[in-house]
Chain A
Amino acid sequence: MTTETETRPRPVRTPAPWARLTRSIAKHTMLIVLSAVMIYPLVWLLVSSFKPNADIFRDLSIFTTDLTPENYVNGWNDLQSPFGVYIVNSSIIAFGAILGNLVSCSMAAYAFARLKFRGRNLAFAIMLGSIMLPFQVLMVPQFVIFKELGWLNTFLPLIAPKFLATEAFFVFLMVQFIRGLPKEIFEAARIDGAGHFRCYLNITFPLITPALATTAIFTFIWTWGDFFGPLVYLRLPESWPVSLALKGFLDAQSSSDYGSMFAMSVVSLLPMFLVFLFGQRFLIKGITTTGIK
C-alpha cells in the first residue's frame, strides 16, 4: 500500500525549465504590449496637455522636451467661470451623494441582513431586481417631480435621492458584509440589553467600514463622472460640475484650442485617478461582490 503511493507514476508532464521560461517570456511580452496599448491614450492625453497647442497634432509622440504649463493657465480661465468653480460644484454633489448613500444604504442593509420581518424575501428581491431596471423609464416623471419641487438648477435632484437608498448595489454590498460578521457579537449585545438601533450604530457601523469605504469610493467616481444627471437638471453655467464644463469646451471649440481642453480633461480625471490609486483594494473588493463597474 505504502509502496504503491510512493512509487505512484506521475502522469503530469512537468514541462522542461526552458519551456516554462519561453512560455513565461511570451506571456509577459503579450501582457506588456497590451498594457501599453491600453494605457497609451491616457499617457498621450497627459503629455499633450503640456505641449504648445500647435505641436499636439503635428507630433503625436509622447517623447518631447518642449513642455509648458501654459494650457493649464489658459484652460482654467477659458469658460464663463474659472475651472475651480466647477470643481467645487462637483465636490459638493459628490460629498452629498456619499453622505446619503452611506447613511441610507447601511440602514436598509442592516434591516435586510439582521432583522426578521414579514415580506423580507420579497422586499429583498425587489431591491435586487431594481438594479436591472433601465433608469430611462423613471427619467420623465422624476424630472416632473423635481421641477414641481422647484429643484431645477440646484444640486438637490442629484443628492436627495441618495438619501433614499436608491443605489441598490451598495445595499447589497453591505448586506453581504453584515452577513459575514459573526452572529455572536450581535447576540452578546442583545443580551446586554442593546436595542437594534444601538446594534446598528455602535456595532454594525464601525465593523463594516471596508464596505462603507467601497461605497464612498464608487459613489465618488460615479457622481464625479456623471454626465446625464447634470445635463438634465443643471442648465445654468455657474451650477455646472466638471463633466458639463468639459462639454462646454467642446461646444465652444471654434478656436480649436485643444491644449486647454486636454489640460482641463486631465484636471477632471486627476481626482478619479487618485481615488483609484489609494482605494484600489476597496474597488476590487466591491466589484467582485456586486459586479459593478
Chain B
Amino acid sequence: MSSLGELRKLAKGKDRKQSRGKERYPDNKTALLFLLPWFVGLAGLTIGPMIASLYLSFTDYNLLQPPQWTGLDNFTAMFGDARFWNSFRVTVTYVLVGVPIQLALALALAMLLDKGMRGLSLYRSIFYLPSLLGGSVAIAILWRQVFGKEGLVNGFLAWFGVDGPGWIGHPDYALGTLIVLNVWTFGSPMVIFLAGLRQIPEMFYEAASIDGAGRSRQFFAITLPLLTPIVFFNLVLQIIFAFQAFTQAYVVSGGTGGPGDSTMFYTLLLYKEAFNELDMGYASAMAWFLVLVVAAFTAFNFWLSKYWVFYDD
C-alpha cells in the first residue's frame, strides 16, 4: 500500500481499537526511546520552524536586526507585486501542463510494457534512468546546451530545414524546455504504474475474455478502474513536488529566472527574496502562501477523487 493509501486509512479511522487502558499500550516508555530522534526532529526542525515562519511572515526581518512586527504588510505587498503573480503563474503553468503530460506518458508506457515481454527490464531501465539523474545540476547544464541556439534540438530541426530559435534564451520557450525536462523524468511514475498493473489479478482478465470482452473493453472496465488509486497517488505527489521545483529553473536560467522572468519559479523568487534581498519576513509570507496553495490543490484532488477513484474496500 502506498503512503497515501495508508494516510487515507488512518483518516477514516479503520484499525481503531475500542478498548483503552494500560494493557493496550504496554510499550509507551520503549516507544518514547525509539521515537526520540524523530520527535526531536519533528519539534525542532518541522513544527517549531513552521510556527516560527508563520510569525516571521508578519514581521520585517533581515537576519541582522530582531524581527519587527508589521502586521499584514508582507501579504499586502506580495499580493500587490506583479513579480509575485508572475512567478505564481509560471509555477502553476509548469504544474498544470507538466504533470498531466508526464503522468499520461508514464501510464501509456507502462501499458505498452507487457508482462514477460522481450527486453522488458532493459526498456524499464532506460526509461527510469532520466528520472534518477533529472534533478542534478549536470543534467540542467546539459539541458542548456540541448536547447541552446546551436544545440541538439536545433541540429535535429536543421535536417528539416527549420532554423530553430535559442529555446533557453527565448521568453516564449524557456519554460517549455523545463516542462520537457520534467516530462523526460516520467520513469518513476511509470515504474509505480507497472507495479500497479502487476497487482491486478489475472483471473479478472480471464473472466472478462470468457465473457467476450475485447482488449479495449478490458482496459476500460478492468485496468483503468483498478489503477485509479495509483493514478491518484501519483497525481497528488507529483503536483506537490512540481510546485517545489527549484534546481532546474535555477541552473537553466543561470540563477536569474530569465529571460524576462519567464522561468522565475515561485521557489526561485522565494529564494531570492530570502537570501539575496535578506527579506526573510516576505519570504516566509511567500512560503506560507505556497503551503496554502499546495494544501488547496491537494484537498481539491482528494475531493475530486470521490468521483473517479475506485477503491474496492
Contact = CB atoms under 8 A, between A and B. Distances in A.
B31 A104 contact: no
B37 A41 contact: no
Interface stretch (A75-83, A135-143, A208-216): A135-143
B184 A38 contact: yes
Contacts of B195: 288
A117 B17 CA distance: 12
B129 A39 contact: yes
Contacts of B236: 132
A200 B236 CA distance: 34
Contacts of A117: 25, 27-28, 30-32
Interface string B71-109: 000000000000000000000000000000000000001
Given A137-B287, A227-B251, A293-B185, A164 B45 contact: yes
A115 B30 contact: yes
A228 interface: yes
A80 B267 CA distance: 29
Nearest to B280: A140
Interface string B11-33: 10001100000001111101110
A31 B123 contact: yes
A128 B132 contact: no
A268 interface: yes
B311 to A, nearest CB: 17
A111 interface: yes
Given A30-B112, A139-B274, A232-B275, A268 B137 contact: yes
B200 interface: no
A239 interface: no
B46 A166 contact: yes
Contacts of A165: 37-38, 41
B27 to A, nearest CB: 4
Contacts of B16: 121
B309 interface: no
A287 B270 CA distance: 30
Most A CB within 10 A of own CB, among B16, B52, B135, B138:
B138
B221 interface: no
A187 B2 CA distance: 27
B123 A293 contact: no
A149 to B, nearest CB: 11
B233 A291 contact: yes
Interface residues of B, number: 105
Contacts of A151: none
B228 interface: no
B188 A166 contact: no
B177 to A, nearest CB: 12
Given A38-B130, A132-B240, A125 B10 contact: yes
A115 B27 contact: yes
B203 interface: no
B277 interface: no
B6 interface: yes
B138 A265 contact: yes
A107 B34 CA distance: 5
Please list the 4 inter-chain residue pairs (A to B) with the smallest Cβ-Cβ separation, ordered nearest first: A164-B41, A141-B49, A117-B31, A265-B138
Given A117-B25, A140-B56, A265-B137, 15 more contacts: A10-B210, A12-B212, A27-B112, A107-B38, A125-B11, A126-B42, A132-B294, A133-B50, A164-B45, A171-B38, A268-B136, A272-B136, A288-B191, A291-B2, A291-B3
Interface of A: 10-13, 27-28, 30-31, 34-35, 38-42, 44-45, 57, 60, 103-104, 107-108, 110-111, 115-118, 120-121, 123-145, 147, 161, 163-166, 168-169, 171-172, 176, 196, 200, 221, 224-225, 227-228, 231-232, 242-244, 246-247, 249-251, 258, 261-262, 265-266, 268-269, 272-273, 276, 280, 283-284, 287-293
Interface of B: 1-4, 6-7, 10-11, 15-16, 24-28, 30-32, 34-35, 37-38, 40-42, 44-46, 48-50, 52-53, 56, 63, 109, 112-113, 118-119, 123-133, 135-139, 141-143, 145-146, 150-152, 155, 184-185, 188, 191-192, 195, 209-212, 214, 233-234, 236-237, 240-241, 243-244, 246-247, 250-251, 254-255, 267, 270-271, 274-275, 280, 283-284, 286-288, 290-291, 294, 298
27 contacts: A11-B211, A35-B126, A42-B142, A57-B145, A60-B152, A108-B37, A110-B34, A111-B30, A117-B27, A127-B38, A132-B236, A132-B237, A135-B244, A138-B45, A140-B53, A145-B44, A161-B45, A165-B38, A172-B3, A224-B136, A227-B136, A228-B246, A261-B141, A268-B137, A269-B133, A280-B125, A293-B131
